[in-house]
Structure 1
Amino acid sequence: MDHMEGKKEPPDGSDVSPHETAMVTDRDSPTFFHQVMPSRVTHHLPQNTWYGLEESARWSIRFDPLKGNVLVSKKRISAGTEILQEKALIIHAVKDKILKTCCSCGLAVPYVAGRLPPTFCDTCNPPWKDIEIDAFCSLWPAAWKSGTVVHSLRILHTVCSLSLQEIETFSQLGRVFPDRPVDHESHWTSAGELVAAQLQGEYKEKMDKLRGLLDNNLLNINKITNANSFGYDVMGVYLQSSILSHSCDPNCRWEINGNNLTIHSLREIDEDEEITVCYVPLVNTWGLDLRRAVIARRRGFLCMCDRCKVEEEELEKADPLR
């Protein structure tokens, strides 16, 4: 993939902490099972009606008990075929690009006039200037250094504008709130009302409620968004592509051009075969332990793709005490 060329990942795992490595190897931990279990909501939905998407001529949506929603091929697909193309639903910049990219469209902003985030390019600035910049920049100045609040508010604003069914079924965004018996509908309705009020400038009386809501869920919002994103310096959440499963030996590649994500087949894909991509660039060139540790840190799950399972079995045979 063109976007992968020139991108160098640390080959020695120096950016992977011992905690992360321990997390992915401890399968008995609650964290492991929480990460791999799909949303409960999808069990109760008719198949192929998630997201209100119309099935492609090449693929359909299927529910997998372990992975959740997956895309499978309807017929044999030749190598090099374009399988999917779509625009981002949510754009968010990685931490070191805060103040350097437009938080609405993700394009580079060459000059920042001393204002705290959010930052908008010339095209996106006029319709948002009076409501978002003035309102968002007045919220919790100490938090702006990390960029967490502004992007979480934008994500909340986008998600709350969707229908409740879309929220619940949009990959894992419906699980922003802790995974316990809760009334998701009332939570998201409340969040939508608070964010809307804030954007309209009527937020002062409700700010404590909004802040309490975000304090409890900012981390989940960002983790779940990152886990469903594609990109490099600027990340995007893509409604259909978020269903794609990861594999360290994928049959497809992803490519980003501006705000568009395109999925192409790397090899011939058989009928009824799951369509997969490699979430983390170049990770498929590394060894098993490093691959799993990096994927766990960046995507929040223990990789159990066919390649990882085969390599794990081979290592266990070579070293029974592993």
Structure 2
Amino acid sequence: MLDKTTTATCPAHAPADHPKIKAEKVGILLANLGTPDDYSYWPMRRYLNEFLSDKRVIDYPRWKWQPLLQLIILSKRPFSSGEAYKSIWNHDKGESPLMTITKDQTAKMAAAMEERYGDQVIVDFCMRYGNPSTKSIVREMVAAGCQKILFVPLYPQYAGATSGTANDQFFRALMDEKWQPAARTIAPYFDQPAYIEALARSVEEAYAKAEKRPDILVVSYHGMPKRYLMEGDPYHCQCQKTTRLLRERLGWDETQITTTFQSVFGPEEWLRPYTVEHVADLARQGKKNIAVIAPAFSADCIETLEEINEEICESFEHAGGEEFVYIPCLNDDSDHIAALATVIEDNLKGWLD
């Protein structure tokens, strides 16, 4: 992250008692989903309460949802979720893998932006849920002289429950600023050539290392209720296009790759096929060696390190599967940072050239 300490001076021709103003900067704010501060009960409960109270995530009427959430779900789920987080926790640094990876991504992006723009920019990150909060980092950026902020949700495909709610929180943070900076948000980058290239290279590297070539690549995206698609959310279509572009870049036919959706929650029908069921079906159909990749996640997290590597892997093996290869998220890989840098540079045009 670039240094936020900049010198404040009184504007030229202003009276001596005029407030000092920091030199103008452009802020680049990376945003990820979030993480609990710890895997014990109360930090988990606070995190889950913020996440599951978001109307973009669960859009049931408050009078119906909140009693169920507060009295039943949040009395039990922090224990099970805490155990899941504990199994993947970065104990050396006292934080979740998502936090560690997001810090690494931010440091590498800051270095790339400094090389490109010098001291004109400040790069930092925030979380939609948990810490560091979007509001706190926006406040720091404005205090450091950022009169323009580019907000970068780290979600390749747009969904209301990911990019949409991250943008909502960013705009809410701007509402509290006396001197509101100019603001931009990036469009989803699910079909950007550099992003598809980074995905394809990660697949090629994983296949080259595998003891047996996988029979099929399962491209698993985070799920959402099917109703959201019917109401106009473009996520499902953007996921399908990402898979198609990846397949075309790899030069494969349709029998070598399939799209699925994971993390089903609640009684509604979600986008299908469900990953946990589909991998078992593949094993029963004779596809004993599979690979799984999760392009909707920019960083490995509970849904990849625990859900895919444990629950989904176990479903495959219990159905007779033999070789299960998980292909990590792009994380702070140099190809990923370069792809994101290209998206950011495109969105800074007119502000910085």
TM-score for both structures, normalised by structure 1 = 0.27
Give the helix-richer structure, 1 or 2.
2
Instruction: Mark the structure with the bigger radius of gyration.
Output: 2
